[in-house]
Amino acid sequence: MSKRILIVDDAAFMRMMVKDILSKNNFEVVGEAADGVQAVEKYFELKPDLVTMDITMPEMDGIAALKAIKEKDPNATIIMCSAMGQQAMVIDAIQAGAKDFIVKPFQADRVVEAIEKALS
């Protein structure tokens, strides 16, 4: 059975890129969100196996959304994505419970590897 994934990014083209990579690798994209508030709502509505979460977004950033999801579901599997390779953000995300961190622009094989590792 394919793993169900929620894609969170404020840029529609980034969501499309991730969706394309996932679809080609037999993952099922069950939903998309454009900000952290939507991400938290959709997470509990759709109950995905994994979330790819952008960090810099309007309304609520990815780290706040990660914390909000982990607070209610400590077993949530979330991989952070960001264009900025800022060490502090990576550390914040990992300390808040992110399983991994992918830097944009995405390398398809790195995305798949991170997701497979996080789900195993």
Q: 29, 8 in Cβ contact below 8 A? A: no
For residue 29, the one-letter residue type is: V
50: helix, strand or coil: strand
Rounded distance between C-alpha atoms, residue 53 and residue 17, angstroms: 14
pLDDT at 104: 83
User: Given the structure tokens 């454009």, which residue do they identify?
Assistant: 34
101: helix, strand or coil: strand
pLDDT tens track for 77-119: 999 998 766 678 888 899 999 999 998 888 899 999 999 999 9
27 exposure class (CB count in 10 Å sphere: 0-12, 13-18, 19+): buried
